[in-house]
Amino acid sequence: MKTALKLAYRNLVGAGLRTWLNVIVLSFSFVVIIWLKGILVGWDYQAKSDMTNWEIGGGQYWHEQYDPFDPFTLAESHALIPEQFSEEIAQGDMVPVLMVQGTLYPQGRMQTVTIKGIDADQDIFLLPTNKLDTVVDAVPAIIGAAMAESLHLTEGDLVTLRWRDAWGTFDAMDIVITDIFSSNVPSVEAAQIYIPLELLREMTMMQDEATILTFRDPELSRPAVQGWIHKPKNVLTASVDRMIKTKTAGQSVFYAILLLLAMLAIFDTQVLSIFRRQKEIGTYIALGYTRREVVGLFTVEGAMHSILAAVVGALYGIPFLAWQAKVGWTIPMDAGDFGMAMAQTLYPVYSAGLVVSTILIVVIITTIVSYWPSRRIAKMNPTEALRGRIQ
Amino acid sequence: MDKNEIIQIKELKKIFPMGKSEFTALNDINLSLGKGEFTGLIGPSGSGKTTLLNIVGSLDTPTSGEAWVLDQSIGKLTAKEAAQLRKKNLGFIFQSYNLLAVHNVFENVEFPLLLLKIGAAERRKMVMDALEWLGLTDKVRSKPPQLSGGECQRVAIARAMVKRPSLVLADEPTANLDAANSHHILQTMVKLNEELKTTFLFATHDEKVIGYLKRKIYLFDGKVAKDEWVTSNQTAK
Ligand SMILES: Nc1ncnc2c1ncn2[C@@H]1O[C@H](COP(=O)(O)OP(=O)(O)O)[C@@H](O)[C@H]1O
Ligand SMILES: [Mg+2]
């Protein structure tokens, strides 16, 4: 094996330009695959941490009537906070949010919104709720940048808000925008306004009630609570998993094409080698190789393309990938239009497992592709190979 | 088999299938070669020289009859055993040199020693010795495409000789060489034959080669037509 490696290396490097063309094509596949996979891992990580920070914390309890996809359920989805959570809430490790349907009237227009009541001093979410503590003449409210832009609202603007209380009676009041935040999570920005929890409870006559309870610690075991549905973190991030899965499938097609091209080049080289190097094959046999050993030599030679490609790929790939991890990859479209937690700039994350498995898979595929045409050598007649007469 | 014999061929036949019919390339060959001989198979093109050399070299097998080489019956060897015989005991020299083009002179000559798994230091010494015999010490790093035909054939001889095989098989070794180079390599081979006691078996129809042979076996239409020893007072040119 050592001899075969040595000879294969000499033959491969000796073959010059053709070898390096194959190696460069293959090394490009390595770098692109690792980069793209790294982007997905980074995206997955970023999307989940954005969701954790802005939307779901360490997991939630939902009122049993609450359905985020049906705003009409909001009228029914509120209840007293169960007794057993009072301590956790008092310690700040659980944040109750009350949600009510409402309508905003900015400059004569109309926008249906979800009004979310939240404690000003919570620190589970990155929402700037401390800005709800400001003393103003109207109800202090914070909104996301996306909505602020679409409604042309800026800090300090007064807007009329209309809502229904627990008895279904309409009421209206002015709110003042005390802060505009931007997150990467569209669902915390789109058509949402945040106002102080106690105020919303008063406005709606829903004392001590909430719609969603978000806790900080995802590790604690969570009991079942009558009237509330426990939503663990992994359930709440399932949409991200689904999205990443879809993207992975899409990428896989791309990898397959990339690898197919590289493998085609190597396959072609192998087939050509076996015809052009008949005399050489005969010579190996005359010098004491068996035909099977020559098959082995040619297979190792072909497979070695992938080893060289890993080395060459590392030469330019490591600096490139490291630079990408540092500056990130800025998506050439508006991330807000994506409808999912997505930053404008994604930072690829590479794991040792990703690099090793990519290299391993490529080496295995290259070996198979190299072995396939080389099998013919086992059927060659050595005397005819020496004459170079095999068609 | 006689202690001093290296090759013994008995009633050997080689028949090639040719579509529906067959072609008898060797017919009823009976021969024996002793150790240290410097012998040639002589005959016109198509007379079966290469075919016989290939069988002796365990690259091919007899259709019937037997060929014993170094106490091994060629027709009965497995692929592995045949490879072992070639690796350890046989050296090949070809008309078109068959050097490995991307390997340099040193690496070409080193090749058979790599197959024998000889250690690096010993390998190096053996290669340098062989290159010295052939006067190639200044071409160590050259690659075959940079060498003349004569130099290439000398590298091929060094490669055949480096492991000190018992038997060297040379198929038309001078066919691509001019007269001066032909004489040069033949004189070298005579010297190696005398100093290392290596047995040489040629296949040739080149008068220059024939002039150096100590025994001439004439083949005609796949049969031995004449087998004669050169008396010692006959000298090569
Ligand atoms: N594999 C083969 N199939 C069919 N015929 C062959 C084969 N090898 C050699 N022959 C025939 O056998 C005869 C002897 O060939 P060869 O031993 O190469 O002759 P020489 O080396 O004396 O020129 C030739 O007529 C050649 O065409
Ligand atoms: Mg011939």
Task: Identify each DSSP E strand in chain B by its residue range.
Answer: 5-18, 21-34, 38-42, 64-69, 72-73, 90-93, 167-171, 199-204, 215-220, 223-229
**Average pLDDT, whole number, for chain A?**
91
What pLDDT, on the 0 to 100 scale, is given for residue A344? 76
Mutate to test the pocket of ligand 1, among B23, B202, B205 (most ligand atoms within 8 A of CB): B23
For residue B237, pLDDT beyond 60: no
For residue B235, pLDDT beyond 70: no
Residues 8-37 of A with CB under 8 A from B: 10-11, 13-15
pLDDT band at B2 (very low <50, low <70, confident <90, very high): low
Looking up tokens 């080389």 gives: A374
Q: Which residues constitute the domain of residue B79?
A: 5-99+164-234
- In angstroms, the CA A258 to CA A264 distance is 10
pLDDT digits (tens, 9 = 90+) for B141-182: 999 999 999 999 999 999 999 999 999 999 999 999 999 999
For residue A339, pLDDT beyond 70: no
For residue B201, pLDDT beyond 50: yes
pLDDT digits (tens, 9 = 90+) for A18-41: 889 999 999 999 999 999 999 999
Ligand 1 neighbourhood includes B123 CB (under 6 angstroms)? no
pLDDT digits (tens, 9 = 90+) for A42-80: 989 988 999 999 999 999 999 999 998 888 888 899 999
Packing angle of the helix pair A17-51, A291-327 (nearest 10 deg)? 40
ipTM: 0.94
Residue B58 CA to ligand 2 center (angstroms) comes to 16
* Segment B190-215 mean pLDDT: 95
Which residue puts its alpha carbon closest to atom 6 of ligand 1? Answer: B16
- In angstroms, the CA B101 to CA B91 distance is 19
What pLDDT, on the 0 to 100 scale, is given for residue A341? 65
List, as ranges, residues with CB under 5 A of the ion ligand 2. Answer: B 50
* Segment A311-318 mean pLDDT: 95
Q: What does the radius of gyration of chain B's CA atoms come to, in whole angstroms?
A: 18
Q: The domain that contains B41 carries what CATH number?
A: 3.40.50.300
* In-domain check, residue B69: yes
Residue among B102, B112, B117 whose CB faces A287 most closely: B112
Packing angle of the helix pair A2-14, A291-327 (nearest 10 deg)? 70
Picking from A91, A200, A78, the residue whose alpha carbon sits closest to that of residue A141 is A200
What pLDDT, on the 0 to 100 scale, is given for residue A71? 82
* In-domain check, residue B192: yes
- In angstroms, the CA B69 to CA B7 distance is 5
Closest ligand to residue B41's CA: 1
Picking from A228, A215, A262, the residue whose alpha carbon sits closest to that of residue A60 is A215
What pLDDT, on the 0 to 100 scale, is given for residue A330? 85
pLDDT digits (tens, 9 = 90+) for A82-130: 999 999 999 999 999 999 999 999 988 899 999 999 999 999 999 999 9
pLDDT digits (tens, 9 = 90+) for B104-149: 999 999 999 999 999 999 999 999 999 999 999 999 999 999 999 9
Q: Starting from the edge strand earliest in sequence, which strands make up the sheet with B72-73, in order? A: B21-34, B5-18, B64-69, B72-73
Cβ atoms of B149 and B99 closer than 8 Å: no
Cβ atoms of A185 and A192 closer than 8 Å: no
Picking from A87, A14, A208, A127, the residue whose alpha carbon sits closest to that of residue B143 is A14
Which residue puts its alpha carbon closest to atom 20 of ligand 1? Answer: B46
- Closest residue of A to B85, CA-based? A288
What pLDDT, on the 0 to 100 scale, is given for residue A10? 87
**Average pLDDT, whole number, for chain B?**
94
Cα distances (angstroms) measured from residue B12 to each of B8, B53, B81: 10, 12, 21
Residue B74: its chain A contacts at CB < 8 A?
A: none
- In angstroms, the CA A50 to CA A338 distance is 15
Of residues A2 and B37, the one with the higher pLDDT is B37
* Segment A343-356 mean pLDDT: 88
Give the count of domains, chain B.
Answer: 1
* In-domain check, residue B119: no
- What's the gap in Å between the CA of B201 and the closest CA on chain A? 15
Locate the ligand 1 atom nearest the alpha carbon of residue B52 and give its number. 17
Task: Retrieve residue A77's tokens.
Answer: 């989805």
pLDDT band at A337 (very low <50, low <70, confident <90, very high): low
Full DSSP string of B143-171:
-GGGS-HHHHHHHHHHHHHTT--SEEEEE
Tell me whether residues A7 and B114 touch, CB distance under 8 A: yes
Q: Which residues sit opposite A99 in a β-bridge?
A: A116
Picking from B82, B92, B100, the residue whose alpha carbon sits closest to that of residue B165 is B92
Q: What percent of chain A has pLDDT over 90?
A: 67
pLDDT digits (tens, 9 = 90+) for A210-266: 999 999 999 988 889 999 999 999 999 998 889 889 988 988 899 899 889 989 999
What is the value of pTM for the model shown? 0.81
Packing angle of the helix pair B149-161, B120-133 (nearest 10 deg)? 130
A58 touches chain B (CB under 8 A): no
Picking from A31, A18, A35, the residue whose alpha carbon sits closest to that of residue A305 is A18
Ligand 1 neighbourhood includes B16 CB (under 6 angstroms)? yes
* In-domain check, residue B64: yes
Host H or E run for residue A144:
strand A139-144
